[in-house]
Structure 1
């Protein structure tokens, strides 16, 4: 009988002691390339810590976007009770969706997951590895070789969307009518996140620690740059005394810390978490455009 062609084509061994033809393994199974018959074996190993960190990254992406658009819709400088309520609602929606997503995956109603593991980038893109033996008919062996890392994220996004549509309109009607624009934005960014995961999930899997660091540093700089008063004293005061700014900055630090932890380097690097904020505040006087404008006016 021999091995099946291609990297992901396998055979299923039936109870009547017969084998199936070469093809895609069932969901939750993966071909054992060390087996002489390319047997599809059930995935019963546990996700690695890196896999869990990846799932965590994919979970807090919609949460960050929810909070950003809620904040943009409110437009108040400081937190109000209505804003806090909507932020908490978004948090609970995401957390509950994440819990349900884990519970509905194998094994059912357990916080453990069965995983096939990730061994190389091509595991995420089995569509591009369907073999054509002797350049004749192509064997279609497309499958989720990284089970459950693809489907669980898609299920999570769907649950987030459903819970938001059930809860948020009622809260917006009662507490913050302007918050409906945040719901409309979510109706746009969830399909975008879904498409991004479907197309670039494998690339994100290997790059999310660096993406976390970049997102944190860029958003931190953007947050400070939107302040009207760019003096060191004003930036320090707003960072320490204004609750809303302090919460946003701490959020940036947590994302940066998450990226550092995901890199699995020495934990001493966590001491660098406040560095981007401190660096911006110290060097802002050298980069503030108003300083250059005032200098040009004096020279003219």
Structure 2
């Protein structure tokens, strides 16, 4: 009985010792910062929480910076005055090419014609005009308004695209909500662009489709009503991942799409594929489109930092098409028997 009491006493002392040491450790590691409005600037926890200077010279409580502002090293919310880099412009161009590519593909699928006609070409021109108008308006309404110049916050890392996942919880007393557009305006202007694309399409396309491609033209419009929400959701969730991976996505998808285009040709012989690219205007335009996308991906990866060397890589753009043509006789299904 006495031995049992001794064991219980020892266990209580051990538990008390560890609880005391943990509390002491937490106290030593406690994060101290000034809460509420303060007279002079002091540091804020987290990577995106900052303080805004008030009219009376004091500083606000730690929180999210206003749109167009970003926290600096001193935790002060300062205006973003960076200019988008070449890679940023290529990223915005890629986001503009996405709806245009989908538009052209949907129009081609709705027309169900193996050759270009005036009616189909007019719908293609309409899709290009819609995307261009939406892009121009988006640039004009982005600060500074009325100018094609963009005032932006520089992208530093992947976490800048997902500040929602980096709200600090100092000392586990409650999270500080500091979610903001740290990559202003690269994130929000894409939403504006997609919305304008949809609105401009609904104004222009129905009239043209009813006159140029009655019956079948509306399916391309219905398809856009599906893929635009899909693009918006994809951008909302994966914008940061797309920002860092779009050059490789462009190259891979252009190669796959190029091979799929050749695979649908009836004559899979080498002369037939070569003559098909030259004689058929539709095939030639599609091939040049694939080559353009492939070159766009190469430029985005290299950013032409070494002009002559990286520019010469664009000479490899026709290589996937020529490789398919040269090896088509080995992959022709008719030869399997």
TM-score by length of 1: 0.95
| 2:290 counterpart (236, 247, 252) | 252
Moved more, 103-112 or 230-239: 230-239
Match of 1:72 in 2: 109
Q: Does 1:277 align with 2:321?
A: yes
CA distances 1:270-298 after superposition (whole Å, capped 9, x unpaired): 000011110000001111111112xxxxx
Alpha-carbon separation, structure 2, partners of 1:237 and 1:136: 72
Greater Cα radius of gyration, structure 1 or 2: 2
Indicate which of 261, 268, 272 corresponds to 1:230: 268
Aligned-pair CA distance for 1:15: 2.3
Residues 1:146 and 2:147 are matched in the alignment: no
Match of 2:85 in 1: 48
Distance in 2, matches of 1:60 and 1:179, equals 21
Q: Secondary structure at the match of 1:228?
A: coil
Query: How far apart, CA to CA, are the structure 2 residues paired with 1:14 and 1:176?
Result: 59
Q: Give 2:247's aligned residue.
A: 209
Q: Which runs of 5+ in 1 are unaligned?
A: 294-300
Q: Aligned equivalents of 1:180 and 1:253: distance in 2?
A: 30
Tell me which residue corresponds to 1:298: none
- Cα deviation 1:169-196 (Å, max 9, x = unaligned): 0001111021110110000000011111
* Alpha-carbon separation, structure 2, partners of 1:7 and 1:292: 60
In the alignment of these two chains, the number of paired residues is 290
- Give, in whole Å, the separation in 2 of the partners of 1:230 and 1:272: 23
Candidates 161, 174, 199, aligned match of 2:198: 161
C-alpha deviation, 1:162, in angstroms: 0.3
Give the whole-Å Cα distance in 2 for the aligned partners of 1:22 and 1:244: 59
- Kindly state the Cα deviation for residue 248 of structure 1 after the two structures are TM-superposed: 0.4
Deviation at 1:105, TM superposition (A): 0.5
TM-score w.r.t. length of structure 2: 0.85
2:58 matched to 1:18? yes
Instruction: Report what 2:134 is aligned to.
Output: 97
The corresponding residue for 2:13 is none
SS at match of 1:187: helix
1:218 maps to which of 250, 256, 264: 256
Q: Does 1:180 align with 2:224?
A: no
Displacement of 1:18 = 1.2
| Structure 1, 265-274 or 22-31: larger mean CA deviation | 265-274
Structure 2 counterpart SS, 1:116: coil
For 1:190 and 1:236, the matched residues in 2 are separated by: 36
The Cα RMSD (Å) is 0.8
User: What SS does structure 2 have at the residue aligned with 1:41?
Assistant: strand
List structure 1 segments (4+ residues) > 2 angstroms apart after TM superposition.
none
1:296 corresponds in structure 2 to none
Q: CA deviation at 1:243?
A: 0.4
Q: Any stretches of 5+ residues in structure 2 without a counterpart? A: 1-33, 35-41, 305-309
Cross-structure match for 1:267: 311
